[in-house]
Amino acid sequence: MAEPEWESLEQCLEKHLPPTDLRELDLPSQALECAAEGDFELQGYAFEAAEEQLRGPRTVRVGLVQNRIPLPAEAPVAKQVSALHRRIEAIVEVAAMCGVNIICFQEAWTMPFAFCTREKLPWTEFAESAEDGPTTRFCQKLAKKHNMVVVSPILERDGAHGDVLWNTAVVISNSGAVLGKTRKNHIPRVGDFNESTYYMEGNLGHPVFQTQFGRIAVNICYGRHHPLNWFMYSVNGADIIFNPSATIGALSESMWPIEARNAAIANHCFTCAINRVGKEHFPHEFTSGDGKKAHKDFGYFYGSSYVAAPDSSRTPGLSRTRDGLLVAELNLNLCRQVNDVWNFKMTGRYDMYARELAEAVQPDYRPHIVRE
């Protein structure tokens, strides 16, 4: 009988967690200096893949940005947006020095995560057009300047359809053109995440964006609890799925290290989990509907952004407390290599599930329970 190799699950996880298995990137000293001066953490790791005879390595560098809001939530809207633009511009400069090809910012990155309040003004004033709002134009400049694909998750106002709001990620090509947009498919109704007061579930399905550096998709925050959401991006061919988020310790920190990592394994792709940092205070008290006292803050956004690979390895997380840029070099060949070993796509029995699910969502469905 085979001997047990590991004393505990924790030992096994430690063995497979970097830095032992993952090569640290040799980042330029200028980038490290700028990050230190700008007071943000900079880490870099490379995921390797086996050499193939017919395909060269498909290497891409992704950048994950996590940050605090630089100004208090009470500050004028335009000043807050401008301060966030300046902060991100400085971090993107460093990403460019590190050779980043695709960068992704945190969920609703141009604003405090004010949806806990259920108030409309001034928070809805942060909403912008995905196609030609000031933030998209700002990101287009960054993309062109640095030859970098930019994933920009914003609060969208859709002027063409009755001015309604959406939680949207705009994908901007390295040419500077807007490649398209994707919307948050699953809207939380948990704790103080009162987002359903502001916008509906996304109506754009599971688009995958073909960029010069690989096929990417964006599964926004709460969508990470829904395995089918990750799965559909993978069905549409995503090599990398970004998960820009805003989530707090008391609610989700125990789930955070597992969910994006599981998704990378289950879907033979890379996943990039990004969370904002710090505590955000709002002018007026709100309650959480749990009998506890009214309060003015959401709780602690714990950062801890990381990248996970299809072979189950992952980078360490960025800090829980500091702004940061995580640079990860991915060899996208790893996706098909792991697929060929584990065959989840081949063994998935999708036709069976499609049939059973189609039946299960019918109003007259009766659960298949076998009784005596």
Ligand X SMILES: NC(=O)NCCC(=O)O
Q: How far is the CB of 190 from ligand X (least distance, A)?
A: 6
Write the binding mask 170 to 189 for ligand X: x where contact by CB under 6 A, - elsewhere. Answer: ------------------x-
Comparing CA positions, the residue from 41, 44, 23 lying closest to residue 328 is 44
168 vs 331, beta carbon nearer ligand X: 168
Q: How far is the CB of 252 from ligand X (least distance, A)?
A: 4
Q: How far is the CB of 162 from ligand X (least distance, A)?
A: 24
Q: How far is the CB of 159 from ligand X (least distance, A)?
A: 24
Residues 211-230 that bind ligand X (CB under 6 A): 221-222
Active-site residue, selected from the candidate residues 98, 104, 139, 221: 221
Distance between CA atoms of 168 and 131, rounded to whole angstroms? 11
Distance between CA atoms of 152 and 136, rounded to whole angstroms? 8
- Verify whether residue 107 is a known catalytic residue: yes
Q: How far is the CB of 263 from ligand X (least distance, A)?
A: 13
- Verify whether residue 10 is a known catalytic residue: no
| CB-based contact 92:145 (threshold 8 Å) | no
Distance between CA atoms of 167 and 224, rounded to whole angstroms? 15
Comparing CA positions, the residue from 204, 98, 216 lying closest to residue 149 is 216
107 vs 329, beta carbon nearer ligand X: 107
Residues 108-127 that bind ligand X (CB under 6 A): none
Distance between CA atoms of 363 and 343, rounded to whole angstroms? 34
Q: Which stretch binds ligand X (CB under 6 A): 22-30, 172-180, 209-217, 239-247?
A: 239-247
Q: How far is the CB of 199 from ligand X (least distance, A)?
A: 11
Distance between CA atoms of 309 and 60, rounded to whole angstroms? 13
Task: State CA 185 to chain mean position distance.
Answer: 13
- Verify whether residue 15 is a known catalytic residue: no
| CB-based contact 100:61 (threshold 8 Å) | yes
Write the binding mask 287 to 306 for ligand X: x where contact by CB under 6 A, - elsewhere. Answer: --------------------
Active-site residue, selected from the candidate residues 48, 107, 259, 329: 107
Which residues neighbour 36 within 8 Å (Cβ) at sequence distance 6 or greater? none
213 vs 222, beta carbon nearer ligand X: 222
Write the binding mask 240 to 259 for ligand X: x where contact by CB under 6 A, - elsewhere. Answer: -----xxx---xx-------
- Bridge partners (DSSP) of residue 44 are 327
Torsion sign over Cα 65, 68, 70, 74: positive
Active-site residue, selected from the candidate residues 48, 139, 181, 184: 184
Does position 107 interact with ligand X (CB under 6 A)? The reply is yes
Q: How far is the CB of 250 from ligand X (least distance, A)?
A: 10
Question: How many Cβ atoms from other residues are within 10 Å of residue 326's Cβ?
Answer: 25
Q: How many residues bind ligand X (CB under 6 A)?
A: 10
Q: Which amino acid is at 240?
A: I
Please give the backbone phi and psi of residue 210, each rounded to the nearest 5 degrees, phi first. Answer: -80, 110
Largest CA distance in the chain: 72
Q: Which of 105, 126, 193, 199 binds ligand X (CB under 6 A)?
A: 193
Write the binding mask 133 to 172 for ligand X: x where contact by CB under 6 A, - elsewhere. Answer: ----------------------------------------
The tokens of 287 are what? 């309650």
- Bridge partners (DSSP) of residue 244 are 274
Report, as residue numbers or ranges, the catalytic residues. Answer: 107, 184, 221
For binding to ligand X (CB under 6 A), which residues are involved?
107, 188, 193, 221-222, 245-247, 251-252
